[in-house]
Structures are given as C-alpha cells and as structure tokens.
Amino acid sequence: MLKAASVGANKLWKAAGKPRHSSVYNARPSRKRYCARLRDKQAMETQSYTNDLHDALLLKKCCHFLEVLAV
C-alpha cells in the first residue's frame, strides 16, 4: 500500500514538472515514508538474524563439542 501511494505521488509530481512548492510536492512524503519503512525492515531483519544467532550460540553445549573434538 505504501509503495503504490509512493509511486503514484511521485508520478504526479513528475507530471507536474517537479515543482518544489505546491500541493503536489506536499503529497510526496508518502515516498519518504515508504523508503524509511524499507530501511527499517532491512534493519529489523539484520537485528533479528543477529539475535537468533546469538541465542543459538548460547544454547550450544560447548563442553560436549570439546569432548567430541578431543576424541
């Protein structure tokens, strides 16, 4: 939904000649919200991956691993 609003607002702005001060220009923040949402989503995915990896490493039995390695 944000993407469609962003694309529509950007097309309208370009069709109007890319004005810097108008109601068409003021409707463009949907593009900024869309881009910000993408960046937030990418950061959350990285954070989630890092947290899951950390939790998995905490649950490992390193003593068992060392015993297997010694054999």
Spans of all domains in the chain: 2-70
Q: How would you write the chain as a 3-class SS string? A: CHHHHHHHHHHHHHHCCCCCCCHHHHCCHHHHHHHHHHHHHHHHHHHHHHHHHHHHHHHCCHHHHHHHHHC
Asked whether the beta carbons of 12 and 24 are under 8 A apart, the reply is: yes
pLDDT tens per residue, range 12-66 = 888 989 888 888 887 777 777 888 888 988 888 777 677 777 777 777 766 665 5
